[in-house]
């Protein structure tokens, strides 16, 4: 049974080439950074202050070109669907990777570790994750209203200290 379903990611087939177009345009931009910088070499020799500006601009362009990889690093934690099998007591979460391929992660409720308790132990310091399963960071929705079965939600989040803090406010 599907416990939670998010509609934030596109499911149409025409959206699948978008990541490839993004990567190809960013790689093209990375290729042009040395070309643009080399065209300013004579100007940099005449004005040394321009060298610092070019170094800063090149750093910004490299960071800008690597944005899709940063987005993939952050969004791979987001759970699209959560399924629960009451017979085996196994949760299955569905994630999408950068090229919109589905990935499934199967686990039990005992394997879910709250990020707040891990930060206290200095084992888990990743941002943008509410919990981890076997050292894989996951971003779960912590609102009971998003879940179709509140009992399964309570089973999934039974070890969460951060959820107790939210409820007490």
Both 51 and 96 in one domain: the answer is no
Last residue of a domain, one of 33, 48, 73: 73
Predicted confidence band at 163 (pLDDT cuts at 50, 70, 90)?
low
Q: What is the mean pLDDT of residues 106-118?
A: 84
Let me know whether 42 and 119 are in one domain. Answer: no
Give exposure, 85-108, as e/b (b: 16+ Cβ within 10 Å): eeeeeebebbbbebeeeeeebebe
d(Cα 132, Cα 125) in Å, to the nearest integer? 11
- Token pair, residue 42, equals 């004579």
Global pTM value:
0.65
pLDDT digits (tens, 9 = 90+) for 36-57: 778 777 787 888 788 888 888 8
Q: What is the pLDDT of residues 83-96, one digit of tens each?
A: 999 999 999 999 87
Stretch 136-162: mean pLDDT: 83
Domain-terminating residue out of 55, 73, 91:
73
Q: Are residues 84 and 161 in the same domain?
A: yes
Domain that holds residue 60: 13-73
Q: Read off the DSSP letter of residue 124.
A: -
Does the pLDDT at position 35 exceed 70?
yes
User: Which pLDDT belongs to residue 120?
Assistant: 65
Do 104 and 163 fall into the same domain? yes
């Amino acid at each position: 049974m599907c416990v939670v379903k998010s509609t934030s990611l596109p499911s149409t087939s025409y959206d699948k080439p978008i990541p490839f177009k993004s990567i190809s345009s960013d790689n093209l931009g990375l290729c042009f950074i040395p070309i643009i910088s080399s065209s300013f070499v004579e100007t940099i020799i005449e004005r040394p202050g321009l060298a610092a500006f070019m170094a800063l601009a090149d750093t910004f362009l490299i960071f800008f070109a690597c944005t899709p990889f940063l987005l993939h690093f952050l969004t791979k934690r987001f759970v699209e669907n959560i399924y629960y099998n009451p017979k085996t007591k196994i949760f299955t979460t569905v994630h999408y990777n950068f090229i919109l391929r589905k990935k499934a992660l199967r686990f039990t409720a005992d394997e879910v570790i709250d990020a707040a308790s891990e930060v206290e132990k200095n084992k888990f310091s990743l941002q943008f994750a509410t919990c981890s399963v076997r050292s894989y960071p996951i971003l779960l929705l912590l609102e009971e209203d998003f879940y179709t079965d509140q009992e399964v939600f309570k089973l999934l989040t039974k070890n969460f200290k951060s959820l107790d803090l939210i409820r007490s406010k």
